[in-house]
Amino acid sequence: MMDMHCHVDLYPDYDEVLKDIINTGSYILSVTTVPSAFEGTSNLTRGIKNCRTALGLHPQLAHQRKNELVLFDKLISETRYIGEIGLDGSRGFVEHLGDQLLVFKHILEMCESFNDKILTIHSLNAVDKVLECLHVHPKSGIPILHWFLATKKQVLKAVELGCYFSIGPAMLASARARKVISWLPEDRILLETDGPFAKVDGNILFPSSVKSVIEYLSNDWEKPKEYILATLSNNLRNLVSS
């Protein structure tokens, strides 16, 4: 199993999430929202097998923390994984889209100096602009569109750009999200929780919670769980070996 978008450092109880990570043995991508959180978050999971820490600057914080781009540039060589990054056009944040674009474009340009980055990207209410940025910076790395809510045309464009898509348990409660999931190519799907922010029935999600997505895909694709697990494992293998 895997959780390719988990805010390990923001759980109310570190011990609980770390215990879940260890018990599941999953491949975990521990994302950060600001560069200044990278070192501490890395230390939280140091020594845990298959746990990687991403360096990020969340679009909802871009206008407040854009000064941390200097630190981002200093740290970028320390990890292959970049995130959470992206754009957010929702109410309360769309007014800061200029700062978001400045930050996102800077990060993509920095990533182009390398040839191995994997990016986990936020695109809420800003899908076209995110895809446009990825089109302009095709050598920035392999994008994973996290909790992607889009039209079919946008999904096809994202596939054309080489994107992967991480889907989580909380998405299954939305008819719109389930429709998007039905459009995704089997060989580009990964799992996430977006814990502790994403919840199901009021409960915080942990890496082990992705089991519900495996169940859902098994029913939706009319394939056994073994097929789903093998497909997802192969997708992860292809991603990290790229």
Q: What is the CA radius of gyration of the chain?
A: 17
Residue 22 CA to residue 42 CA, distance in Å, equals: 15
- Residue 174, sorted as left (phi over 0), alpha (psi -120 to 50) or beta, turns out to be beta
What are the residue boundaries of the structural domains of the chain, listed by start?
2-240
Give the strand pairing for 203-204 and 51-53: unpaired
Q: What percent of the chain has pLDDT over 70?
A: 100
Q: Which residues contact 184 (CB under 8 A, 6 or more apart)?
A: 155, 165, 167
Q: pLDDT for 113-143, tens place per residue?
A: 999 999 999 999 999 999 999 999 999 999 9
Q: pLDDT for 39-77, tens place per residue?
A: 999 999 999 989 999 999 999 999 999 999 999 999 999
121 in helix, strand or coil?
Answer: strand
pLDDT of residue 20: 97
Determine the Cα angle at 191 with ends 185 and 195, to 5°.
145
Which one has a higher pLDDT value, 52 or 1?
52
pLDDT of residue 23: 95
Average pLDDT over the chain, rounded to an integer: 97
State yes or no: pLDDT of 242 exceeds 90.
Answer: no
Asked if residue 135 lies in contact with residue 175, where contact means CB atoms within 8 angstroms, the answer is no
Sheet containing 51-53, strands listed edge to edge, beginning at the edge strand earlier in sequence: 2-6, 27-30, 51-53
Asked if residue 6 lies in contact with residue 194, where contact means CB atoms within 8 angstroms, the answer is yes
The superfamily in CATH containing domain 2-240 is Metal-dependent hydrolases (3.20.20.140)
Both tokens of 234, joined, read 């192969």
Nearest to 85 by CA among 152, 153, 17, 38: 38
Query: Residue 203: phi, psi to the nearest 5?
Result: -100, 135
Q: pLDDT for 218-229, tens place per residue?
A: 999 999 999 999
Query: Residue 224: phi, psi to the nearest 5?
Result: -65, 155
**SS3 per-residue string spanning 125-193:** CCHHHHHHHHHHCCCCCEEEEECCCCCHHHHHHHHHCCCEEEECHHHHHCHHHHHHHHHCCHHHEEECC
